[in-house]
Structure 1
Amino acid sequence: MTAVKRLLRSTRTAVAVAASTTLLGAAAGLGAGTAAAEPDPRYAGAEQRHAGSQIARHEGVHGPPRYAMPGQTLGHDVSGWQGDVDWPAAVGAGAKFVYIKATEGTGFVSKRFAQQYDGSFAEGMIRGAYHFGRPDISGGAEQARYFVDHGGGWSADGRTLPGALDMEYNPYGEACYGKDPGAMVGWIRDFSDTYHARTGRHPTIYTSTSWWRKCTGDSAEFGATNPLWLARYAPEIGPLPAGWPTHTIWQFADRGALPGDQNYFNGAHERLAALAQG
């Protein structure tokens, strides 16, 4: 082989090696960049956030119910904040039902949802999923679809409650997510209508009377169709939002004998089963 040919072959080999090294480096850089991607700041704290976390912060905790609640059914609600729940112990402590956080906005699914949702069902409890509404991120219809697609659906098995929409103070800023009452009512309507179209059930609405009055103008639109899950940590349930003649569930404490927040269903166990059945 002549010196010229040896030089040409050496040059081609060096170029090929350099190109290969560049491609590998780029791939490694892409992989590193993907793995190191920062979490979406819009969901900071979502795993710890639960139904009522912002209500307790804004409205305070004023004591347990003044007296025993005859004819009521004891239950609770949990989220990723509780971690894996000991369901046999919860049932042993008197829990008959539970709502479990599934989703928030359109970018968060609780890491604990499967253990909590399936585990409670396995112990014979009536359970349902809830969605922490984020009107600052996307539309109500979009969030309802996300919720249903990530565990928030409903089945007529007599042990699955209709999904719940958690509407409470914005954890990141202005209480009403920058929406006026008309826009907020429209957002909730879009969520409710889309959930109903997907499941055949109207979602339960979780809220406090104070937030509802402030952010919806005390709308009476949903009282005839959507069960009310009212949050108030006080000796008495107090006034209800407009449109609801009575409540379905009262979240009366943010801690107690059961994991998570404490609730009473407003009726006997057979009425709770009827709500699940639809």
Structure 2
Amino acid sequence: MKKGKTILYNKALFAFSSFLLFTIYLVGCEVEDYPGHYPVYGNAIEAVRVCADGPTVDGIDVSHWQGNINWRAVKADGIEFAFMKATQGTNFIDSEFENNWIEAKEAGVLRGAYHFFCPNIDGSDQADHLLSVMGALEPGDLPPVLDVEWVPDSICPPCCS
């Protein structure tokens, strides 16, 4: 395997491993509706988790769908970390990623980027796209993760390829 392909493979493996570990970590928690408690961060709503006894760390994931987020209010409400959508496919960049990335750190919220994975597009190309948009991690940043969802017919919208 060529050196460049090895580096790309290692990056993709790291991202997938991070996602898998994060998912395993969260398996112990179950999300349920709680109609009476919906703090608003931009246009986001919060879900309530029912977890095993013991300490937990609260976090959220956000994208352009939540609009402009008041990160100081997020931090004040006890949210410790956030994963924010950075990319999808090989050319989509979330319109709120840059603002969320900067403002979450300024508010003291640990930050991580996520990529919405498209199974019909080359994984190495998608990893390159995420890393080029995200840039270098800074001390305290969380490793990037993948958002892998079932999409009918395993096709991402043409805007993303």
The interval holding the TM-score normalised by the smaller chain is: 0.5 to 0.7
Contact 1:97-1:127 at 8 Å conserved across structures: yes
Q: 2:137 aligns with which of 136, 155, 162?
A: 155
Contact 1:98-1:128 at 8 Å conserved across structures: yes
Q: Secondary structure of 2:127's match?
A: helix
Q: Counterpart amino acid of 2:145?
A: A
1:132 corresponds to: 116
* Aligned equivalents of 1:167, 1:65: Cα separation in 2: 21
**Counterparts in 2 of 1:62 and 1:125: CA distance versus 1, 3 Å:** closer
**Counterparts in 2 of 1:89 and 1:104: CA distance versus 1, 3 Å:** same
Q: Secondary structure of 2:85's match?
A: strand
Q: CA deviation at 1:155?
A: 2.3
Q: Secondary structure of 1:94's match?
A: coil
Q: CA deviation at 1:115?
A: 1.0
**Counterparts in 2 of 1:86 and 1:62: CA distance versus 1, 3 Å:** closer
**Counterparts in 2 of 1:75 and 1:134: CA distance versus 1, 3 Å:** same
Q: CA deviation at 1:65?
A: 3.7
1:215 corresponds to: none
Q: 2:128 aligns with which of 136, 141, 145?
A: 145
Q: Secondary structure of 2:108's match?
A: coil
Larger radius of gyration, structure 1 or 2? 1
Q: CA deviation at 1:69?
A: 5.1
* Aligned equivalents of 2:80, 2:53: Cα separation in 1: 15
Q: Counterpart amino acid of 1:164?
A: V
Contact 1:154-1:161 at 8 Å conserved across structures: no
Q: CA deviation at 1:71?
A: 1.3
Structure 1 residue ranges, 4+ long, deviating more than 2 angstroms after superposition? 61-70, 153-156
The TM-score, its normalising length taken from structure 1, stands at: 0.37
Q: CA deviation at 1:67?
A: 5.3
May I ask how many residue pairs the two structures share in their alignment?
Answer: 111
> RMSD across aligned C-alpha pairs, in angstroms?
2.0
Identical-pair percentage:
33
**Counterparts in 2 of 1:89 and 1:65: CA distance versus 1, 3 Å:** closer
Q: Counterpart amino acid of 2:88?
A: E
Contact 2:32-2:49 at 8 Å conserved across structures: no
1:74 corresponds to: 58
The answer for unaligned runs of 5 or more in structure 2 is 1-30, 34-47, 156-161
The TM-score, its normalising length taken from structure 2, stands at: 0.63
Q: 2:73 aligns with which of 89, 94, 119?
A: 89
The answer for unaligned runs of 5 or more in structure 1 is 1-60, 179-278
Q: Secondary structure of 1:165's match?
A: strand
**Counterparts in 2 of 1:88 and 1:69: CA distance versus 1, 3 Å:** farther
Equivalent positions of 1:1-12 (< 5 A) are: none
